[in-house]
Amino acid sequence: MILTIILFILGVWILVKGAGWLVDGASRGAEIFKISPLVIGLSVVAIGTSLPEFAVSLTAVISGSGDISVGNIIGSNICNIGLALAIAAIISVVSVSKSTLKRDFPVMLGVTVLLLIFIANRRLERWEGILLFVSFICYFVYLSRRKEIFTQKEKSYPGWIRKYPWATILSGMIGIAVGARLMVNSGVQIAGFLGVSEAIIGLSMMAIGTSLPELVTSVVAMLHKESEMSLGNILGSNILNITLVLGCVSIIRPIDVSPRLFSIDGWIMLGYAIILFPLLLTQYKLSRKEGIFLLTTYIIYFIYLYLS
């Protein structure tokens, strides 16, 4: 048990370090190519922080635990908004551009609704996974062609980050994946030791564990005054979790879905996506009070999971 706790702490440390490298490398890359930090957050950073979800979901499906795979994605998307974005807003006000509300938010809402439609029959088929993956390709091509006004001021970085930003991004992604994996594995063992049922692990322990990269990256981005990257990371991760992760995983093997994931938690995921719009629309920012509201609702949801 002591070794498990040590591995958990080690995973957190690697995760934080990797997130720092990822944000610095992405910011430097944005400077070099005059790319908006928002676009970087929606693409490179979002893919990097979605790696743990992909690894956990793929492993779960291959081992025949489809509920953990889908539950992990639904739980992670809930956690990204209710926990990660909420904490980022509590640290500092999260600003949002009009283009984000017009372009990226509808995409996140759309793929969330699409997932609910697909799992309504309690199964995610291979052809549905193909449609999800095609949606990811279309969105990524759209991002690559998108032009945003570059407003970021150059910052000072350590020499190796300034010279090798892409190596920094890759190192950050690897750190995030390794750290999250250590955390999830040790966290599941701790949960088992404490007698937590496996039915809840996908939505809670797994979801929080695999969402920690989004949480840490968003917090680090806010501390680095990269508000747009923080929001872009959350929206992009939620989009990629559904289109890329579940798309690829269900192509490999169709997934049977627990009734509870559609009838309860899937709708809670959609509820968070819907309620985020009016919160962001208010003066085009997410205030500390709104962050506290989101965090409070997530704590209530988390307590409900264990009471149920």
pLDDT tens figures, 156-177? 666 667 777 778 888 888 887 7
* DSSP code string of 245-305: IIHHHHHHS-EE--HHIIIIIHHHHHHHHHHHHHHHHGGGEE-HHHHHHHHHHHHHHHHHH
pTM of this prediction exceeds 0.85: no
- Terminal CA-CA length for the chain: 27
Of 289 and 95, the structure prediction assigns the larger pLDDT to 289
Q: Worst-scoring range by mean pLDDT, 22-26, 46-50, 89-93, 108-112?
A: 46-50
pLDDT of 301 higher than 70: yes
pLDDT tens figures, 238-249? 998 999 999 999
pLDDT tens figures, 108-117? 999 999 999 9
> Chain centroid to CA 205: how far?
14
Burial, 254: exposed, middle or buried (Cβ in 10 Å; 0-12, 13-18, 19+)?
Answer: middle
What are the structural domains, with CATH classification, of the chain?
37-148+195-307 (1.20.1420.30)
Please report, rounded to a whole number, the percentage of residues in the chain having pLDDT higher than 70: 85
Q: Nearest Cα to 82, choosing from 304, 308, 296?
A: 296
For strand 255-256 and strand 94-95, is the pairing parallel, antiparallel, or unpaired? unpaired
pLDDT tens figures, 168-213? 888 888 887 788 778 777 777 776 777 766 557 777 777 887 777 7
For residue 157, give the 3-state DSSP assignment.
coil
DSSP 8-state code for residue 27: H
